[in-house]
Amino acid sequence: MHPLSATQAAAQAWEALQPERWPLAPGCFPPGSALVGGAVRDALLQRLGPYPDLDLVVPQGAIKLCQHLAKKHRGTAVVLDRERDMARLVLGPWSLDLAAQEGSDLTSDLQRRDYGINALALPLPPGEALLDPTSGLGDLATRQLRALSEANLLADPLRLLRGPRLAAELNFSLESTTAALIRRHGAALPQVAAERVLAELEKLASCPGGDAGLQQASDLGLLQPWERPLTAGEQGSLEVAGLRDEELRTAMPLARLAQRFDGAALGQLKASRKLQQRCGMLRHWFEQLSQPLGEAAMLQLCRELEEDLPALVLLAPGATDGWLQRWRDRTDPLFHPRSPLDGRTLQRELGLAPGPQLGKLMEQLMLERAFGRPHCIKTAKGLCRD
């Protein structure tokens, strides 16, 4: 595929971007402003969503401009980086990131960026040719990710991880010199704020090529400080295992993270306590499936993984055969366990006071119901006598 000319690229990008739909007309921004980065790239790749994030470079005063536009158009202004003069304007479903130009002109700004495909700019308003000082259009045509320079990668080491993430997300290949640079400097990644690393890993785990992308990141040494694989050796691609699209959207990213990171590692990455617990429980039950589970253990698995069972099915499809169909039935007493009698009824009928005995009785009744055995007040009285 031959690269487009700068004029052809601009026409194609603007057609996809539909600026007439933007919450602000391109002419609202000062002379010298430009749309840059991901939105331009994705427009040329025909992969824009209905409300693409718009990254704009303005000559100066990005924060001040953002606050002015937010007040004028009843939006919200969020300061992203006061030192670098960056802010976000939120207008309904739209998000516009404004940044002050770095360097003496727009070309200098683009040459400071990470990869060629992200160093493209469309001057505002529409009418001028696309600006491509680093041959990013050629990279789009050959579907490869090429770092602009070693220094640019190290200016923000998160760019090292962004390489495999973008390659997986776009189905691009990492150019060989770029891959070598990432491998050489992978030890710099822990210098980045843990929250930023986690956000990049979550994006990687969520994209269609996430399995290959995570493996590539691992092979390049980027995950070494945190990776604790569930099984020895290279991590294979997770099988879809009959999951529906809506189930996969939640289960696949979670399973991919659990496959490589334990709760302690996610804690180091400043993940939420909930995400740490979810991945920790998935790993625990994956390991327990190496042997047959007793009734009590199976019930506990279903209680702890009631919302996340599809992720376990992805991790261990052979050991969970038939579970997904039962889990989809919200009335299944094992995969959605509930006590057949509430605590108040048991207290009233059996004269029990709140306490450990009541809790144990409810647990036992839940077990009886989960495995299809009779459950009623008579059963409860019998269990109480036992």
- pTM more than 0.85: yes
pLDDT along the chain (386 residues), means of 10: 86 96 95 95 96 96 97 96 95 97 95 97 96 96 97 97 97 97 97 96 95 96 95 70 90 96 97 97 96 94 96 93 95 87 60 63 79 62 50
Residue pLDDT, tens place only, 69-93:
999 999 999 999 999 999 999 999 9
| CATH fourth-level superfamily of 6-142 | Beta Polymerase, domain 2 (3.30.460.10)
Per-residue confidence (pLDDT) for residue 364, from 0 to 100: 78
Task: Provide the CB-side half-sphere exposure for 3 (13 A, CA).
Answer: 16
Rounded CA-CA distance 174/94 in Å is 31
Q: How far from 186 is each of 17, 154, 212, 288, 350, CA to CA, in Å?
A: 35, 10, 18, 34, 64
Q: What kind and span of H or E run contains 57?
A: strand 54-58
The CB density around residue 252, as the number of other CB atoms within 10 Å, is: 22
Q: What is the pLDDT of residue 366?
A: 79
Give residue 237's pLDDT. Answer: 72
Do the strands 76-81 and 54-58 form a parallel or antiparallel pair, or are they unpaired?
unpaired
The predicted-structure confidence for 195-236, as pLDDT tens digits, reads as follows: 999 999 999 999 999 999 999 999 999 999 999 999 866 666
Cβ atoms within 10 Å, residue 49: 7
Helix-strand-coil split of the chain, %, nearest 5: 55, 10, 35
Q: Are strands 173-174 and 144-145 parallel, antiparallel or unpaired?
A: parallel
- CATH 3.30.460.10 residue window(s) in the chain: 6-142
| pLDDT on residue 368 | 82
| pLDDT for residue 370 | 86
Q: φ, ψ for residue 122 (rounded to 5)?
A: -115, 110
